Amino acid sequence: MTASQPLPSPEMSQIVKLSDIGGAPLTGKIVATEAQRQALAKRFDLPTIASIVADYRLEAKEHEITFKGTIQSDLHQACSISGQPFPVAVAEDFNIVFVEKTEIPPSEEEVELASEDCDVIEYEAAQIDLGEAVAQTLYLALDPYPRGPDSDAIAEKNGLKSEEEAGPFGALAALKDKL
């Protein structure tokens, strides 16, 4: 993508202007449409996403906006062993803090992030995208190496080693058996 091309808009965008939040906490629900689920399945390389629902509480504080809730999704992931799709139910709590984007010059210094820093999303133009935050939360909740119900049998049939056999202790055990 060149610098002149705009970034594509998120598939499940739900923009909220900061002026709409006010002083009292807001609660709500985000439910993905069929078109949004299909687009996210393509983006996340998933066979299908049957549902995405997020219940949330949004609250403006002095220099941040907190976005807390629960996401639930029914989807299919492809097994990392067989490639066959299998059903997955995701239920994930989230606690995201939106902070205003600042222009800080890049530093040569290495920065270590604490776990509480990982759920911070910057915003600009006095608006936040709740839908994209939910989509990112769903993606992070997915198993990066999903194993379907028949993965162990398929791996054994094809001569693939288990995690225990392939690791360093498995190699030591194989040496011990040879002695």
- DSSP code per residue over 2-33: -TTSPPPPPTT--EEEGGGT-SS-EEEEEE--
pLDDT beyond 90 at 120: no
The CA angle 173-79-34, to the nearest 5 degrees, is: 155
pLDDT in tens, 56-80: 999 988 888 999 999 999 999 998 7
- pLDDT tier at 81, thresholds 50, 70, 90: confident
pLDDT beyond 90 at 94: yes
| Total-model pTM | 0.75
The reported pLDDT for the residue numbered 87 is: 94
Q: Where are the alpha helices (DSSP H) in the chain?
A: 34-43, 130-141, 151-157, 163-166, 168-178
Nearest to 122 by CA among 106, 109, 133, 108: 133
pLDDT beyond 70 at 28: yes
- Higher confidence at residue 168 or residue 54? 54
The reported pLDDT for the residue numbered 148 is: 78
Its sign, for the CA torsion 131, 102, 120, 42, is positive
The reported pLDDT for the residue numbered 64 is: 87
- Higher confidence at residue 63 or residue 142? 142
The reported pLDDT for the residue numbered 86 is: 93
Is residue 130 within 8 A of residue 52, CB to CB? The reply is no
pLDDT beyond 70 at 1: no
Token pair 């379907």 in the structure block, residue: 148
Query: Cα-flanking dihedrals φ and ψ of residue 122, to 5°?
Result: -85, 145
The mean predicted confidence, pLDDT, of the chain is 81
Is residue 153 within 8 A of residue 31, CB to CB? The reply is no
